Structure 1
Amino acid sequence: MYFPTAGIACHPLVPFAVAAGLSFFTSMGGISGAFLLLPFQMSVLGYVNPSVSATNQFYNLIATPSGIWRYRREGRLVWPLAGTIAAGTLPGVLVGAFVRIYLLPDPGHFKIFAGLVLLYIGLRLAVSVWQERAALGRRSGRRTADTWVGGCQTLVWNGREIRLRFQERDFALSTRSLLLLSLIVGLVGGIYGIGGGAIMSPFLVSLFGLPVYVVAGATLCATALTSFAGVACYWMLAPFHAGIAVAPDWRLGLLIGLGGMCGMYAGARCQKFVPAAVIKVMLVLVLCFTALRYLLQAL
């Protein structure tokens, strides 16, 4: 099958199967899988023009609703987190689209940028996993948020703080800090074409100390909302850049989106049966491997 905007040809089952497999695992951590589909499209399929970012965000629009619906059905979608993250990432994603088109159109420079972002996320999450293991040894008699039991209760949600209760433990974070972090993450996510969830989820776990079970549904929800804005922005800018491909490749985006839809639903369904530590270690390995490969290719 030929994909005109991307300028590539491949068997349609290949991107569908890759999207389904990646999203199955990443959706357990509240990540759509778009951050891994980007290197697959660029390095394997040869899709390197700026519209790959828009296509990635279009994938999010198609794929994430199934995972969101599953998390919501099981009471694992924390609306205060989802709304606050979306409010911060939305303007950042719009600015990021301009940066991607005007400042980072070269594939080589973009790979360096993407590799550094992914490496930082991976190392940050690895430190978080190590700290949790050490803390677990110090509180050997206490219950930890390593499996999903019951629901997450919102205690406080206002302009100053968000306070949640999960498994008899309270988790508090500053609303303003979360909005500022979301804005920065949205900017990076808009440039990278991932909607921000792949960056926000590890930050919420490592920086704010939230359980992965609590953040997964919220980050997927925010990813869907910001990806819609990102796709719209790229689409509206396309007529002003006739010399380069800016708008999404709708055919490829729909194909990988359908694969992601299947994988995300299955991943959201299975998440509560997988230990949080396993999910985090898996994300660390994938993030670091992808980042190092990107940086080596750019050198």
Structure 2
Amino acid sequence: MEWFVLILIGLVAGTLGALIGLGGGIIVVPALLFFGTNTSLLQGITPQVAVGTSLFIMIFTGLSSTLTYMKHKTVDYKSGLIFFMGSGPGGIVGAWVNKALQMDEFQIYFGLFMIFVSFILIIRGRLKPLKLKQSGIQRTFTDAKGDSYVYGYHPVLGIGMAFVVGFISGIFGIGGGSLMVPAMIVLFLFPPHVAVATSMFMIFLSAIVSSMTHISLGNVNWLYAFALVPGAWVGAKVGAFINSKLQSQTLVAILRVLLIVIGLQLIYEGLAV
């Protein structure tokens, strides 16, 4: 039963993470905390273990979805590597800050963050690219229909934003795509599909660095991690495939409500301790 639950968590997290560009940690961490504190299925789950294990899983989620997006040629490798220059160090700093958080503090902060992510998902569909004068790096993308898109960003701004995203990822064990994808679309004029694909590529690289830090701190439950990997790998491929085929508004709407409910539950449990 324990393995079935973990594989299912990985499958759901991988699918939603790749579909929307979140990375999957926004599902894995609260799921591990829930089963670890409210049931007898998963033992020894602390905020640090939940985060460390989640980040290790995101290596495989990020790699699986990136390989799928590569086939559709929607990954901007250059931009992903530039953003990684910020998200990598940010993830290391976040991982070290995470070790100081107690269970009640983590639940409250993570609950608030999940509600914030839900708000971002609500407004993301209404966000329109800002007509900013782009300076620095200029990129062009031509989709399968032959439509061309021009986008760009200043490297310093891109790296700075990615550092914040990596820092949050290191603390909470999430991919950071919930923040990075809207920023890429609104501020840098990325086409949505390119933003999601590039976000997953950045998440893959950042998760390697962040998880290495958590591994050195002893924050990865290897038994749970290897049980989560198969579902996350398959789910990431499914999510990336769906993303390339249709607009996932219904699923996103369900996820918004789910995040608010889980966020409120985490805050309640944190305050009740």
TM-score > 0.5 by shorter chain: yes
Question: Could you tell me which residue of structure 2 aligns to residue 113 of structure 1?
Answer: 109
State percent identity of aligned pairs.
Answer: 19
**Displacement of 1:197 after TM fit?**
3.2
Contact kept, 8 Å, 1:61 with 1:257, in 2: the verdict is: no
Q: Aligned partners of 2:172, 2:79: CA distance in 1, in Å?
A: 22
2:125 maps to 129
Question: Which segment is superposed worse, 265-274 or 285-294?
Answer: 285-294
Match of 1:27 in 2: 18
Given the alignment of the two structures, is residue 161 of structure 1 paired with residue 137 of structure 2, yes or no? yes
Give secondary structure in 2 for the equivalent of 1:262.
helix
Amino acid across the alignment from 1:260: A
Per the alignment, in what secondary structure is the counterpart of residue 109 of structure 1?
A: helix
TM-score (norm 2): 0.84
Count of aligned residue pairs for this structure pair:
256
> 1:63-107 deviations in whole A, cap 9, x for unaligned?
3222111110221211123112211100000011110113x1x11
Residues 89, 196 of structure 1: 8 Å contact kept: no
- Partners in 1 of 2:115 and 2:74 — Cα distance? 29
> Partner of 2:93 in structure 1?
95
Deviates more, 1:228-237 or 1:271-280: 271-280
Q: Is the 8 A contact 2:84 2:205 kept in 1?
A: yes
What stretches of structure 2 of length at least 5 have no aligned partner? 38-44
RMSD value over aligned CA atoms?
2.5
Per-residue CA distance 1:153-202 (angstroms, 9 max, x = gap): xxxx9x92343345333233332211111111111110111243343234
Change (3 A) 1:202 1:275: same
C-alpha contact 1:25 1:267 (8 A) present in aligned 2: yes
Which 10-residue stretch deviates more, 59-68 or 92-101? 59-68
Deviation at 1:293, TM superposition (A): 2.7
Runs of 4 or more above 6 Å deviation = none
Amino acid at match of 2:84: A
Residue in structure 2 matched with residue 43 of structure 1 by the alignment: 34
Q: 1:176 to 1:129 in 2, by over 3 A?
A: same
Q: Would the alpha carbon gap of residues 107 and 164 (structure 1) be closer, same or farther in structure 2, given more than 3 Å must change?
A: farther
In the alignment, structure 1 residue 253 sits paired with structure 2 residue 225: yes
Q: From the superposition, tell whether residues 253 and 279 of structure 1 become closer, same or farther in structure 2 (CA, over 3 Å).
A: same
Letter in 1 for 2:13: L
Larger Rg: 1
Deviations 1:240-297 (A, max 9, x none): xxxxxx3301111111111100111111122122216456545533433332332233
Structure 1 residue runs of 5 or longer lacking an equivalent are: 1-9, 136-156, 238-245
Is 2:180 aligned against 1:182? no
**1:226 to partner: Cα distance:** 1.2
Partner of 2:207: 227
1:87/1:286 CA distance change after superposition, 3 Å: farther
Aligned to 1:242: none
- Aligned counterparts of 1:273 and 1:43: Cα–Cα separation in 2: 33
| CA gap 1:93/1:131 in 2 versus in 1, 3 angstroms | closer
Aligned mates of 1:279, 1:207 — CA distance in 2: 25
What TM-score does the superposition give when structure 1 sets the normalisation length?
A: 0.77
Q: Distance in 2 between matches of 1:272 and 1:278?
A: 16
Change (3 A) 1:217 1:169: closer
